[in-house]
Structures are given as C-alpha cells and as structure tokens.
Structure 1
Amino acid sequence: MILLERILAESWNVLCLSAPYMLFGFFIAGLLKAFIPDDFVARHLGRENGASLLKASLFGVPIPLCSCGVLPAAAGLRKQGASKGATTSFLISTPETGVDSIAVTWALLDPLMALLRPLSAFLTAMVTGQLVRSLDPDVKKVAPVPAPMEVFTMAPAGDEPSSCGCGCSAPASKPTIMERLRMGMRFSFGDLFTDISGWFFVGVVIAGFITVFVSPELVDAYLGNHLVAMLVMLVIGTPLYVCATASTPIAAALVLKGLNPGAALVFLLAGPATNAAALSVITGILGKKSMILYLVGIMVSSFILGFAVDAVYSMTGLTAGWQAGAEHAGRTLIGTVSALVLFGLVLFGRGGHGSCSDPACECG
C-alpha cells in the first residue's frame, strides 16, 4: 500500500511538473494552427526529403518546449501535413535544447558545452529523422486541412456565400486575428487534446513507476570509466522524465563528482527526448515502428556524439571546472493548477471532432 502511494505521488509530481508545459504546448499548437497556413506546413515539412528534415531540425532548436510541451505542437504539425521524418526531427531538436536551456548550460557548465549541446541536438534530429524517413516513410500522405486563407475567398458578384465544407456557409471576408486565434485554440484544446491526452496520462503513470525504482544517484559508482559512464547515463536518462533545463543542474552536479563531458552530453540529449510519458504519445502520433526508430536513433546518436565531445575536450585541454548551483525543483502552485486544468479538460471539455474549425463557420 505504501509503495502504491509512492507511485501515485510520483505520478502526480510528474504531472504537476509537466502540466504547465503541456498547456503551453497546446497553446503553441493553437498558434501554429491559427497563423501558419496548412499549405505552408505541407510545402516545407510535408515532403519526404532532406530539406524538410533540415527545416524541422532548425525550427525546433530555439523553441523552449520540453519533452511534454513539444508533443501537442508536433501532433498539430503532423495533422497539418508534416511528414514522419520531419515530425521526428522536430520532436527531437525541440526538447533536447532551447534558448532557455542553452543559457542555463552556459551558466552551469561552460560556453563550449553551450555550443556543442544545440549542435548535437540538431545532428541527432537530422540523423533520426533520416532513419525514420528511410525505414518507415509515409505510405499514405497525411491530408492537410484546407488553410484558412484558402477557405475564405471573395464571394462572386451574386453575393453567394462560400462553403467551408462542413454543411454551413462562411462569410466572404477573411477571418480576423481574434477569429483565427479562437479557431486555433478550439483545434488544439479540442481535437488535438482528445487525440493525445489518453496516451499522455498512461505515460505519466509509467513515469511514476520508473521514478520510484530508478534514481540518478545510481550512476555514482560508475563514473570512473568514460564508456561505462555513458552507458549508465544512457540507461538512466532514456526512461527518466527530465526537461532540457532541469537536466542541466543534474548533469553539472554529476560532473563535480567526476563525470566526463561526453557522458554529461548523453544525459542532456537522451533525458529530455526519451521519457515514458513522451514515448507513449509518440507511438500514437507516428506509430510503433517510428517510435522504435526514434528511440534507437537518439540512443545511438547521443552515444557517438558523447565520444566526439570527449575528444573535443581532450584536444582543447579544457577541464571540467563546472559549477552546479540549482536546487531540486518541486511542485509549484502553477504546476498543481495546471494539472487540475488538464483533468478539467478531460472531465468537462469536449473535442471538436466532427465540427467545423473555421472561425467564420458558425455550425454550432
């Protein structure tokens, strides 16, 4: 009974920690839906080519979304027509780094790692996206929803209203900014939330089990050998829930105990992009095969890049004189309220399936 209480408590902690980022991610997804035309998404991220992977990887590097916050945004891009490979690249480069985590890396580690971290995230996203593109491409192209700017065309001279394809009539004028925003939020907190919320809550419970039985302190006895240290960091970081910013002080604290820079990078790459909550949702977005390729690509790439980073530090002669000054982050009022909001959306919200999402279509 006590063990069950601990698991439930840890699951609640994970939910409270991730809920604000999830809500922010849904908000970002709504903005993407509202203000980025679907034909733009399909044109730049919808093709199975290297250019789509490059754009998705670059697009995700500066965005400050964690492994949970990126999920709704990526699911929205996928629904809008992004290819599996491009979606995979976006899912990797976004949580592994961001403008906030780069700044924390500069402060707690050093300027070189602050440069190598986003570069490594970009390379991992490109390699894994290419792996998914080659071994599990889109069999059937995702059909993007008609872009709002294409739907609202000027009415002919006879003042006939234009149709939005949902059995109702749309005004001839283009939607206003507020109408676009309302449409985007209706999409993200309706259809999109309904699609991935179940996967997310299942993953949160799994993360609770992992948090109870696995701890970063388990790696302390294996820090002497660089190879073993990277393997242990890979094993610990892969299932553990930790965002890009929160992973930085953990890595810095372990470095003070003798962890090599390559092993620190492995944890900084694998931790934010591969946790139980994220993997369960990614399975729903991309499918089981792509999820396995996603996991394999991150693990192999981070391991190889870890050796490369150790080589860079060895050649430059830099020492690990890093400082760790971050305290453990617990539940906050914002996190608790956000978790309750998520539960409220499940209990009282209703998805927009079967309804018209265009702002000018008043279908009820």
Structure 2
Amino acid sequence: MNLLHNFVGLFIESGFWMLLGLVVAGLLKEWVPTDLLAKHLGGKGAKTTIKAAFIGAPLPLCSCGVIPAALGLRRSGASKSATTSFLVATPETGLDSVSVSYALLGPFMAIIRPIAAICSAIVAGLLVGREDLPSKVKSSKRHSQPLDQPSAGFAVNAIKPAPTAAKCCSSKTVEPTPTVAKCCSSKTAESTSTTAKCCSSKGGDSKSAFGKLKSGVSFATTDLIKDISTWLIIGLFFASLVQTYVETDFLAHWGGTIWSMLIMVAISVPMYICATASTPIAAGLLMSGISPGAVLVFMLAGPATNIATLGVVGKELGKRSLFAYLTGVVGTAIVFGLATDYLVSTYGFVVQPLSAGEHEVLPHWLSITSAIVLALLMARYYWQKIHSLLLQRGLVH
C-alpha cells in the first residue's frame, strides 16, 4: 500500500505542472511553424548553431519526435552544426520538462537544466561543425579545377542543393516544389510525429487566434500525451519504488564523483526517453542518494543519446560527426554535473522535491483536479490504443 500511496502522491504532485507544460508546448507548436525554423537555420557558422539551440530548447519535441524534424531541417539546407544543435537542445529540455522539474526537483534544477541543455547543444553543434571543416577544404580544392575538366565531387555539389526546397516532409524521396500540397495531406497530419509538418505555417497562418489555441490544446492532449504517457508512468513508478524501498543513502557513497556521472551516462544511453518523462526517474535517483550533478547528467544524456538518435546522426552526418556529437553531449553534461554539485555544496542551493511544501505552492484542490484531468487523458489514449489493436485482430467491430 505504501508503494501505491507514494505513486499516487507523486502523480498528484506533478499533475498541474505536467498539464501546464503540455498546453504551453502545444500552443508554442502552433505559433512556431517548421518552415520558419528552416529559414533561420539555413546558414552556416556559430551564429546559426547558437540560434538553433535557443529555438529548439522550448519546443515540445521528445527524443522520437525531434528526429524527423531535424532531418527536415537538414534537407531544407540547415548546416550540420545547426542540425546537431537543434537535435540536442530540443529533447534535452522544453517548457513542459522545466515545469515538471520545478515540481519534482525544485527551482534550482528547473533553472540549471535548460541552461545546461542549451550549452550542451551549442558545444555539440560547434564540434560537429569543426569535423565538417576538412571536407569543405577538399571540396573547395575540387571546385578550383578548370570548368572544362569538372571532377565528380563538383558535379555532386552542383546538383545537390537543387531539390532541398521541397524535402521538408520526406527523408528519402525528392519531389518538385508542388509537393507542398501533399505535405499537408491527412496522412502526414495524422502521423505520430507531427513535428515534421512543413505545412504548419502555411495552413496555420489562415487560422484565427482561437483556432490556433484549439489546435495547440488538441495537439497537447493527443500527440504529446501519447509521446510521454508510458515513460511518465514508468518514471513515476520507479520514483515511488525508490521512495518506498530504497534507503536514502543507498547510492550516496558514489557522491558527486566523475564515476557516478559516468554510471549515469551508461544508464542513459540505451534508454529511449524524453526530457519530461526522465524527470520522475531523476527524482527517484535523487531520493536514492545520487548527487544532483549526477542526476543532471542523466537528464541531459538520456534524451539526447538514445540509440535511435545516435543511429540517425551516424547515418546522416557521418561517423566523425557522431563522435563529435557524443563528445559534446556527454562532456558538457559532466562539466555541468560537476558544476551543479559544486554550487549546491558551496552555496547551499536546495535540490529536493517540493512535496513537503506543495500546499504552499498550489491549492490542494488544483493539484487533485489537474491529476484527474491528466489521468483521464492518459486513460483515453490507452483505451484508443487497445481498441485499435482489437480492431486489427477482428475481436471488435
């Protein structure tokens, strides 16, 4: 019973902040069209890398959703460094994860987490950009050959940029410009990864403010709920397990050493988890005695270094870029982890769940109501999923 009690308590504690983050993230998706991102991230150099980090940080995309969005940006002309920066910053943090971090870990972690995520994205992007420099030098040498004797590399480079304008919705096919209409087809609109919709701004511009509000809330209560529900339950269950059965100092002997942070990296790499759902797991780790810095490493490395993302980076950007990507993400996470432990120990910043002072932050009725609404939205998603499976097997009509 203690396990169930702790699980329900954590769910109630995070319910309001979860809903707040989801709604704000859904509204942000409506007001920030994808083709606008491609326009601003199409250049090269440090400026676009930094811009990509700040644009990606608040967006409501998880580890799975950011992949097609990043591929769309890459095929729309974004540089390797800007694509990498966007690919790191977007799943590592977001408005929804910041609000849940505040509820489960306290205000200090809610502040340091997005700062660390943005810095991690910039460092990884710049490192990947440096890895791309040798190929640029070779390419410029090939371009310097006489026009009557073009090299194979020049021919490839001359042809490559032409089809990028219409490739925001496809990672394989190259189609002419009129495919914008196809991009807005119902199949694309209903895909699980709504983040790669290049048509969002074209169709969205004609919407009224109320229409955008309605679409944003609908996106938050359907697609985003679908993305985070399972991992949120797993994370809250893990946190409640730790709270119930694990002594608070069980892992404390690891302290804030580099070894505890490397362990967090090893745990996080195989996991396929988004920033929001990683937060309750981080809260459980914190309760088991892991230092705040090591917890931060887990929350940064988990969403950005899962196997699917690493596979895409290696395939699309190259093996050198993959190594630079990992170096940037893991290295920056460890640096910020060590810095976090130093700040906590030196200046006394408090890192703990707000459960003890929840009544001072939110009215109890608001927490309960929010948790019920969140539970109903998640239950609706699972019912639709089960009903769809039964239809496929012919068990229902």
Q: TM-score if structure 1 supplies the norm length?
A: 0.61
Aligned position for 1:119: 115
Q: Give unmatched runs, 5+ long, in structure 1.
A: 1-20, 149-164, 171-178, 197-210, 342-364
Aligned position for 1:224: 253
Cα gap change, 1:281/1:135 in structure 2, threshold over 3 Å: closer, same or farther?
Answer: closer
Among residues 348, 352, 355, which one is paired with 1:317 in the alignment? 348
Cα gap change, 1:65/1:324 in structure 2, threshold over 3 Å: closer, same or farther?
Answer: farther
Asked whether the 8 Å contact 1:80–1:143 carries over to 2, the reply is no
1:290 equivalenced with 2:321 (yes/no) = yes
What is the deviation of 1:274? 0.9
Moved more, 72-81 or 230-239: 230-239
Cα gap change, 1:311/1:298 in structure 2, threshold over 3 Å: closer, same or farther?
Answer: same
How many angstroms apart in 2 are the aligned matches of 1:233 and 1:147? 41
Aligned position for 2:131: 135
Aligned position for 1:93: 89
Among residues 164, 179, 195, which one is paired with 1:145 in the alignment? 164
Moved more, 79-88 or 231-240: 231-240
Task: Classify the secondary structure of the residue corresponding to 1:285.
Answer: helix
Asked whether the 8 Å contact 1:88–1:129 carries over to 2, the reply is yes
What is the deviation of 1:289? 2.3
Task: Classify the secondary structure of the residue corresponding to 2:122.
Answer: helix
What is the deviation of 1:282? 2.7
How many angstroms apart in 2 are the aligned matches of 1:334 and 1:280? 29
How many angstroms apart in 2 are the aligned matches of 1:99 and 1:291? 27
Percent pairwise identity: 41
Asked whether the 8 Å contact 1:83–1:142 carries over to 2, the reply is no
Aligned position for 1:41: 38
Higher helix share: 2
Asked whether the 8 Å contact 1:93–1:121 carries over to 2, the reply is yes
Summarize the alignment of residues 243-282 of structure 1 with structure 2, pairs less than 5 Å apart.
243-282=274-313
Task: Classify the secondary structure of the residue corresponding to 2:129.
Answer: helix
Asked whether the 8 Å contact 2:250–2:289 carries over to 1, the reply is no
Cα gap change, 1:234/1:183 in structure 2, threshold over 3 Å: closer, same or farther?
Answer: closer
Cα gap change, 1:186/1:306 in structure 2, threshold over 3 Å: closer, same or farther?
Answer: same
Task: Classify the secondary structure of the residue corresponding to 2:164.
Answer: coil
Moved more, 55-64 or 222-231: 222-231
Among residues 68, 92, 116, which one is paired with 1:72 in the alignment? 68
Aligned position for 1:53: 49
Asked whether the 8 Å contact 1:82–1:142 carries over to 2, the reply is no
How many angstroms apart in 1 are the aligned matches of 2:69 and 2:42? 15
Name the amino acid aligned to 2:333: S
Name the amino acid aligned to 1:145: T
Name the amino acid aligned to 2:321: S
Summarize the alignment of residues 175-190 of structure 1 with structure 2, pairs less than 5 Å apart.
182-185=182-185
Among residues 323, 327, 334, which one is paired with 2:381 in the alignment? 334
Aligned position for 1:161: none
Cα gap change, 1:135/1:146 in structure 2, threshold over 3 Å: closer, same or farther?
Answer: closer
The alignment covers a number of residue pairs equal to: 266
Cα gap change, 1:257/1:69 in structure 2, threshold over 3 Å: closer, same or farther?
Answer: same
Name the amino acid aligned to 1:83: S
Cα gap change, 1:338/1:75 in structure 2, threshold over 3 Å: closer, same or farther?
Answer: farther
How many angstroms apart in 2 are the aligned matches of 1:290 and 1:143? 24
